[in-house]
Chain A
Amino acid sequence: MMLALLQAAAEASPAAHPLAGTVAEYVWMLPLLPLLGFVINGLLSIVPAYHAGPEDVSHDPEAGHTDMAHEEAYEAEATTFHRRWNALSSVVGPLVVGIAFVLAAAIFLAMRAAGPSLETAGAFVRTYGSWMPAGELRINWGLQLDQLSMLMTLIITGVGTLIHLFSIGYMRTDPGYSRYFAYLNLFVCFMLVLVLGGSYPVLFVGWEGVGLCSYLLIGFWFSDESNANAGKKAFIVNRVGDFGFLVAMFLLWANLGTLDYAGVDAAATRLVANGALVTAICLFLFLGCAGKSAQLPLYIWLPDAMAGPTPVSALIHAATMVTAGVYLIARSGALFALAPFASLLVALTGALTALFAATIGLKQWDIKKVLAYSTVSQLGYMFVAAGVGAYSAAVFHLATHAFFKALLFLGAGSVIYALHEAYHHTHREEDAQDMRNMGGLRRHMPVTWALMWAATLAIAGVPVFSGFFSKDQILGAVYGAARHSAIGELRLLGIPGSAILYGIYVLGLVTALITAIYMTRMMLYTFHGANRTGEGERPHLHEAPWIMTGPLAVLGVLTVFGGWLNLPAVLHALGPEALLDRWLAPVVARASATLAGGEVAHLSHATEYALIGAAVAVSVLGIGFAVVRYRGPLLAKREAEAAETGLGAAVRQAYYVDRGIGRYLVEPTIALSRKVLWRGLDVGLIDGVIVNGSAALMRGVAWAGARIQTGNVGNYAWIVAVGALVVIGAVAFR
């Protein structure tokens, strides 16, 4: 029946779209509002920085530089301006995103009002002009609104608004205040282009645009070399993924002749199911996803990305940008449905990433690093879901993760803020992110403590918290797919797909256990036990201002009740079931069904209860283990770490992956380029032997020129000019 519905959708003419003439016509304003914020905040940050030098500095070479007071003067002036105009940035920055959220909500209501007619109408597409007209290739600036992009838009603008508000407090004293909001606004703009774009190239604009903003914000405090390094690394690793995305687009254009979603969905039926072509397209797309969403082996940039301001980590490196890969796969469901082999690899990569990152999270001391590895791990879950075709489960976990991980990051931000202020008071140079400097913060910041526990329970999968429902749905979907699906019938290296899927299910459970352990460890080290910040600092530890705790509280509510978005059927006593599944069905149901091999497997209630029981048991076990393990003085000896060997040391060093890439990839490439290509081939062979050799041959020819050059060279210019004029002029007018 679903198939029939979707076919009807494809045939419906755009003019008769139920959203035509409604507030949805203003969809173009969604990305433009934050763009406007970017322009205003950008001007606010750059106009005071402008110092027109003296008009003709060259006339006095000493005036231009060697004035070391220059920077101080600049900073003093910038600060004055800063105080005067900060308020404007504080209003403009969050306001544009807030208005975008209100508009998105209005469009959402219009979509709700359109009712069932929307389910059959397909996406609402609007074209605003031509971008790249080239022969038969016609790429337009087009936006597309459907249930999936609507949901993403609500998350981006909603969580985005909260994080903008939080930033007012967090970045209050930063000299780059307006610049910060400019970048953050620009990020929201590109993120909305990413989810609202109507074709792969337009999506790619947002895709690389958010990468740019991520680069700028990771390196926001660029005077520290490690921050600048981290930003650059993020961009370059993302580019490796983008290479895959580009090749996927070339394949699509060369074989399907279109790059619009609508066109690709329609033309996908021409592809051979499970053929080499569609598998290649999907795997290249997935390479892009692995870069953006930090999956193995391209996850390496995300932990370093924590160098940016903490609200950035919350918005970009947890709630929105890094989930773009999941969105892309859900968006390309029509392709992935035809490529069960690629889908299996997606799920397997996700499961391995989830476990791999979770184990690293066990041994980190930097509170943000724990959360970063946790994000990598949770993204792995989403790819597991996307891989087995449970697209709505993937998007559900994307949503709940956006709530609880944003809350965790912002909570960590408010902890870091408190420690930073305290150390600032006593002028001590200590690491405000190191959990060994925390402990016992519960007494000083009870609101943050309570909210972060809620988020921890959610990520650990404790019942009724949002993460429980979404993680449970993913594990259930994997289990169901292992029982019966198109993927389960494949063989990979001789192993049956269903066996691999059962393996993925087990990996998921193990990861859930480890997640519960490392998150509890983090909470215990941060908030419980005795305080280790320092005697002098302790009186200065206090809760963040309301502008920061307010957004935390809102996220707390979402973290606790987010599960109600998509209650499983077996828990229908709690409220309306499967709201999200039903909302997304027009977009993803067909692809999910194809991958499932006809119809999504329905597990019996007994099985579902068993699965839920296993998940709950694992999370309780993990929390209990951590409580027992990390009880007591809770003070790790730094010296003990140095003595660590074997696996312990390897885990703490994130399995030496970064060091290995540096030693075996980056350094050899640089050495090759410098010694062989540049000094050897360029300077040595081409220039030294060939060019200079020819030069020797030419010396005879150049003899005359050499004689002329001993004379006045200026005269020669005259000769050229007059000669050219004579040749052209005289002959032309004869």
Chain B
Amino acid sequence: MRDVLAALRLDAWVLPALMVWPLLGALLIFMFGRTARPGAAPGFAPWRDVRVLTMIVLIGEALMSVGLWAIFDPGVTGWQARIDLPWIPEWGAGLTLGVDGISLVMVLLTTLLMPLAVLASWDNVRSKVRSYYGLLLILMSGTLGVFLALDLLLFYVCWELVLIPMYFMIGISGGRERARASHKYFLAAFIGSLLMLVSIIALWVAGGSQSFNLDALLIATRGAIGQTAQTWLFLGFFTAFAVKSAFFPFHTWLPDAQHEAPTSGAVALGIKVGTYGILRFALPFFPAAALDPTLRLTIIGLAVAGIIYGALVAMVQPDFKKLVSYASVSHLGFVVLGIFALTVQSIQGAMMVMIGHGVSIGALFLLVGMLQDRSGTGMIQRFGGIARVAPLFAASLTVVALSTIGLPGTNGFVGEFLVLIGAYGAYPIPAVLATTGVILAAVYLLWALQRVIFNPRTADEAGDVRDLDRRELVAMVGFVVAILWLGIAPGPVLRRIEGPAQRIVEQVTRGAETAAAAPPTAALP
């Protein structure tokens, strides 16, 4: 297998292909795609159904990324499958792509999650189907770009390529409150990217206005930025990333956006590009700020508050989708806690929570979306006893809920356990407080689970939902396999992110020492 891939010279083209292929797919969809309409005579070839086209593109992506996994050498530190094309030489910006263990697993998460999401929400999008799926593919390209870019300007372009399509996906194909939701989303996105753009330009200037390249900038800015400037620039990046990943207290746009977005869009919002950005940029560039005791403790405090707050607010949500969104806010607290505890275990755990979050929260959204599509409501109290009429649906929802709760043997446990055990060494009291999240998670999810699939059956249409169809079943089997695989044998994933996690810890601790040595006047020019 590896020989075949090597003969194909996969490493030389797979990264740009991963980004360009969905864009080509979007073009194809806008040119040839047709929407299958209920009741209408199928006057076109099945392959022209936009959903079929989208699936073809997404499966292609998944295959390429699996190939990337196969050729990836876990023993090598540094970038692999690196590509460096000239772009804007005057500014020192290049089309530089590369993967390490962290970006590799995020790429796989994205490319494997999205086809399952599209498959499981096949009939969910009802209006402007063609533009929705076209935009989804552009979003896909942007998301992969965020994970692959080794050039800060390219990163910024890709970042926008995530934000803008999502804005229109919600605004065009969303639910009844789509205008309000998309405006809130736009606001969050706009503030975030503006702050980040300013910080990127400031970094570029601080690095001598030579290059936007990640590695080059890291070297050029080492020791060149004083403590105060670091703090401000760090806050610029951090705010952008925190808002985008709906970190408490910047989270209020998320429940609205995920509620109004079509199901696969809500799943895409669960791929946390923001926390990836913190790991990749905010920590290595500004070690002194990241290690500033007050700042760090504030962020960790917010993370712990977010875990508990998200869980408590999730508990009282009458709407199942919003409950899942707040659960997502709670989980994000674990990610940030893990990242800022800055131990190898806690960062590995944070990555596992990010992956597990995509899988578990994603699957939850798909299942809740199915409920809503079938019954026309997402209100928990309308349901009851549907395990009797839809046993496979109920079984899937149970497994996914248990992984969200963090039952050992599922992905959820591995992530939370590693975050907490790693964080305990650095921040014992916040870690213990965060551990109460495992109790609260059981409260909000089991309560919802009971009211939806157990209890006496309600007599109206909400009590008589149809069970999974074949497409949905295939997708759910995929999710259950992922949940158990990541829960029982996460070794292959953990080993690939161990090296990068180690490197980040070293970069920050060593970087902070050099920053301390920098002259205090060496602020921004």
Contact = CB atoms under 8 A, between A and B. Distances in A.
B86 to A, nearest CB: 8
Given A53-B469, A67-B464, A691-B187, A713 B456 contact: no
B186 A732 contact: no
Contact of B464 (A70, A223, A694, A731): A70
A57 B469 contact: yes
A632 interface: no
Contact of B498 (A61, A135, A243, A713): A135
Contact of A686 (B252, B446, B470, B488): B252
Contacts of A58: 38, 122-123, 373
A523 B27 CA distance: 80
Contacts of B343: 135
Interface string B165-199: 10010011000000000011011001100000000
B478 to A, nearest CB: 17
B457 A71 contact: yes
A716 B168 contact: yes
A206 B465 CA distance: 34
B62 interface: no
A670 B135 contact: no
Contact of A718 (B30, B468, B502): B30
B467 A51 contact: yes
Interface string B398-434: 0000100001110001100110111011001001100
B421 A673 contact: no
A212 B421 CA distance: 23
A254 B424 contact: yes
Nearest to B315: A673
A239 B439 contact: yes
Contacts of A674: 316
A53 B498 contact: no
Contacts of B490: 131-132
B33 to A, nearest CB: 12
B420 A250 contact: yes
A232 B312 contact: no
A129 B489 contact: yes
A725 B138 CA distance: 9
A249 interface: yes
Contacts of B461: 65-66
Contacts of A691: 184, 187, 252-253
Contact of B348 (A68, A134, A683): A134
A59 B39 contact: yes
Contacts of A201: 408, 417
A222 interface: yes
Contacts of A228: 450, 454-455
B312 A720 contact: no
A703 interface: no
Contacts of B454: 219, 222-223, 225, 228
A721 B157 contact: no
A204 B38 contact: no
Nearest to A284: B432
Contact of A209 (B135, B409, B470): B409
Most chain-B Cβ atoms within 10 A of its Cβ — which of A135, A677, A681, A701? A135
A720 B421 contact: no
A717 B168 contact: yes
B348 A135 contact: yes
Contact of B313 (A231, A682, A724): A682
Interface string B338-370: 000001110011000000000000000000000
A569 interface: no
B161 A724 contact: yes
Interface in A705-719: 705, 709, 713-714, 716-718
Interface size classification for chain A: 35 or more
Interface stretch (B4-12, B234-242, B280-288, B389-397): B389-397
Nearest to B437: A243
Nearest to B488: A131
A397 to B, nearest CB: 29
B232 to A, nearest CB: 20
Interface string A222-256: 11110011011001100110110011011101100
B249 interface: yes
Nearest to B29: A721
Nearest to B23: A725
Nearest to A229: B450
Interface in A381-408: none
A236 B453 CA distance: 18
**A contact patch SS:** helix
A695 B252 contact: no
B388 interface: yes
A231 B442 CA distance: 12
A721 B407 CA distance: 42
B491 A236 contact: no
Given A205-B409, A677-B313, A682-B252, A65 B418 contact: no
Contacts of B140: none
A673 to B, nearest CB: 4
Interface string B488-513: 11110011001001100000000000
A230 to B, nearest CB: 10
Contacts of B315: 670, 673
Interface string A648-688: 00000000000000000000011011100110011100110
A509 B414 CA distance: 46
Contacts of B184: 691, 695
A673 B308 CA distance: 10
Contacts of A672: 312
A205 B315 CA distance: 26
B87 A720 contact: no
Nearest to A715: B131
A134 B157 contact: no
B49 to A, nearest CB: 11
A705 B190 CA distance: 12
A246 B438 contact: yes
Contacts of B85: 732
Given A67-B464, A673-B315, A720-B138, A132 B183 contact: no
Nearest to A204: B408
Interface string A44-78: 00100111111111111100111110110010000
A229 B443 CA distance: 11
Nearest to A58: B123
Most buried by A among B38, B88, B469: B469
Contacts of A698: 187, 190
A247 B391 contact: no
A57 B343 CA distance: 50
B421 A52 contact: no
A56 B469 CA distance: 9
B417 A713 contact: no
A731 B123 contact: no
A413 to B, nearest CB: 23
Interface of B: 23, 26-27, 30, 38-39, 85, 87-88, 95, 122-123, 128, 130-131, 134-135, 138, 141-142, 157, 161, 164-165, 168, 171-172, 183-184, 186-187, 190-191, 249, 252-253, 309, 312-313, 315-317, 343-345, 348-349, 373-375, 385, 387-389, 391-392, 395, 402, 407-409, 413-414, 417-418, 420-422, 424-425, 428, 431-432, 435-436, 438-439, 442-443, 446-447, 450, 453-457, 459, 461, 464-470, 473, 488-491, 494-495, 498, 501-502
Question: Sorted from nearest, which 10 A-B pairs have the closest CB atoms?
Answer: A135-B344, A58-B123, A222-B454, A250-B424, A228-B454, A49-B391, A673-B312, A717-B131, A674-B316, A205-B408
Given A131-B489, A134-B349, 18 more contacts: A64-B466, A65-B375, A134-B422, A222-B455, A228-B450, A236-B446, A242-B439, A246-B417, A250-B435, A669-B312, A674-B316, A691-B252, A694-B187, A714-B131, A718-B30, A720-B165, A721-B23, A728-B157
10 contacts: A135-B501, A223-B385, A223-B455, A236-B446, A242-B439, A246-B417, A677-B309, A691-B252, A698-B187, A725-B27
